Structures are given as structure tokens and as C-alpha cells.
Structure 1
Amino acid sequence: MTVSVAPQNGFRGSVDVTLQGLPSGVNASLGSSFAVQAGGSQSVTFSVSGAAANGIFQITISGTSGAISHSTQILLTTEPIVNVLTYQNGSILYLESDSGTDTSR
């Protein structure tokens, strides 16, 4: 996701951004707090470990500069990791995952 600061009324400062509500096992590339300069943007990538809970989580993004603050929410969806194994036995290709096995000739 990209967090951008659109300056208004001559604002030229920096905005302190915080992320709240990240579930256990989910990390943001810039951490849970970072700064964005007026007119600038920061790209944030979420990484999910195999131990993270599955579900839909509401993440609050807050920006503060001095006495002015604003916040918004996004929804983050985490889904189970599907492990796929492949192996070949002669002319038969086997595909196995956590949810089943498929055979192809």
C-alpha cells in the first residue's frame, strides 16, 4: 500500500504515521511507525508468517503533525499458506498440497 501526504494551505512539515491493529505474525516493511514528508509518499508492504492467524483484520492508519491528526481504516485479509509438492515417477506427474493430491499423465 502507499501512504501519501497531500499538503494543504502551505503545509510543508512531516507527518508521523502509525499502524495499529496488525495481527500477530504480520509485519509492515517500515515498522508500525514512520514519517512521511509533505508532498511525499511511502510504500508499505505487509509480510505474513506461517504462524499468522487467518482472517480479516481492521488496520488503523493514523497521521499526526503537531496538533493535527487524521486516521482511516483498511482491511487486511490473511489466508492459509498452501504448500505444493511436485514429483515425477516415470511419465506420471504428482502434485500434492495440503488440500489434496492430483495426478497427471
Structure 2
Amino acid sequence: MGKGDDAITGPSVSNSASAGAGLPFAPPVRYDVNTLPTKAVFFDVDGDGDLDLAVPNSESGGSGTQDDSVSILLNNGDGTFAAGTESTVGDSPNNVVAGDLDSGR
């Protein structure tokens, strides 16, 4: 089983990677996303074996970023994430469900 990680949402997403069983988490690293992120989900978006992050964002209230979007942060392979990309979705997304929709094609 792999090492545990944690993602916490707020005005940004913070990620803390575990050093291993029974060891404390590393200091958090912040990643900017939309103003109102909720319920981040780890899953392998790009099929490289590393867990990426998907973060639904509700209306931003004028933050300059896209309202009602999902941010995707790709894992760099070292426990850090690339800057997020946003896709506009329906009104006030609150959850993300991850799955392989094309059977790995």
C-alpha cells in the first residue's frame, strides 16, 4: 500500500505528502484554484500511474477565474502538482466522481 497524502480545500488546495507509515506529513504546499473549491478527489487523470487532483469550484464572486468549474492538477511524479487547468461545468459543482469512461482507450 502506498504512502498517505492529504488534500485540503479553501481559497486554494493544500497538499501534504506522508513520509511513510507512522511518520508525520510534510509541510503543506498550496496550489491556486478557484475561490470556492470543494471536495477534492485524487485519481489518475492522465494514466501515468500518479494520482492527480480534481477540484470542483463553485461561483468565484469576481476572483478573475472561471466560475462553476473543475480544476485539474496533474501530478509531476514527485508528489507536487502542475498549475491547475479549469473547465467550465454546470451550476455550483460540489462533487467530482472519477472513473475510466473509455476502458483505457
Asked whether the two chains share a fold, i.e. TM above 0.5, the reply is no
TM-score normalised by the chain length of structure 2:
0.29
TM-score normalised by the chain length of structure 1:
0.29
Flag the structure with higher strand content: 1
Rg larger in structure? 1
